[in-house]
Amino acid sequence: MKAVRSHSTYSISITGQVYGFYDECLRKYGSANVWRYCTDIFDYLSLSALIENKVFSVHGGLSPAISTLDQIRTIDRKQEVPHDGAMCDLLWSDPEDIVDGWGLSPRGAGFLFGGIVVTSFNHSNNIDYICRAHQLVMEGYKWMFNNQIVTVWSAPNYCYRCGNVAAILELDGNLNKQFRVFDAAPQVCRQYHFILITIIKPAHILSYKPTRILVSLNSSNGPQCPFV
């Protein structure tokens, strides 16, 4: 299985501060350096991904400034996300049932776009459907516009209070789809942070398997989460 991490609104430095990533880095590591290094790396993440030339993956949605995939390839992504323009739209736009073309977004960034826009984009770029995130879906995933775009939400019980399930979309080599839906981990599992340590034996020993130990970063007596 191949995984590609792309840009999202949570990789924007100010968004990371508002939604807790900055505070988490301070709490875990005692300084803002880790957060600062992460935000530098985020600027190099891809804006989108094309899977087997048939599935277009992006965090938010489409842009009125973009009609072809080649236009996305020309965007200089190595920068903080601007407040408007094509790069901003890819991360902030949302599909909307009551909109046919383009509409103003209540988020204050990006656009709302309808089924006509999605159909045109998919046809022009010869893709089967768009896979995106960016909006809470209580059931974990949601198809729109005759299965031309799907929203996949992978954060269960968002903000620890929404009560939603989450989903992951898996595609095999033939692009057969499987949605894996899951609930949030029990509260006890969120109270302890764990790190997976791999112990490698000396190089001159030819026959060995790495030893992996799950270590709690909070307490040596803390309960071990069965879901890790």
Query: How far is the C-alpha of 174 from the C-alpha of 164, rounded, in Å?
Result: 30
**Entry pTM:** 0.75
Q: What is the pLDDT of residues 62-76, one digit of tens each?
A: 999 999 999 999 999
Phi and psi torsions of 10, nearest 5°: -75, -10
pLDDT confidence band for 187 (50 / 70 / 90): confident
Q: Are 30 and 77 part of one and the same domain?
A: yes
State pLDDT tens for residues 132-184.
Answer: 999 999 999 999 999 999 999 999 999 889 999 999 999 999 999 999 999 99
Domain of 167, in residue numbers: 9-184
Do 203 and 151 lie in one domain? The reply is: no
- The DSSP symbol for 22 reads H
The whole-angstrom separation of Cα 26 and Cα 33 is 9
Q: Pull the structure tokens for residue 8.
A: 């999202």
> What does the pLDDT read at residue 190?
58
pLDDT one-digit tens code per residue, 2-56: 545 554 454 455 665 666 788 888 999 999 999 889 888 888 888 999 999 999 9
Look at residue 42 in the predicted model and tell me its pLDDT.
84
What is the structure's pLDDT at 195? 44
Q: How far is CA 58 from the centre of its chain?
A: 9
Looking at the structure, do residues 39 and 149 belong to the same domain, yes or no? yes
Tally of domains in the chain: 2
Q: Which residues pair with 152 in a beta bridge?
A: 141
For 111-135, write each residue's pLDDT tens digit.
Answer: 999 999 999 999 999 999 999 999 9
Instruction: Choose among 134, 127, 139, 82: nearest CA to 113.
Output: 134
Whether 4 is covered by a domain: the verdict is: no
| pLDDT given at position 213 | 38
Is position 151 within any domain? yes
CB 196: neighbour CB atoms within 10 A?
Answer: 9
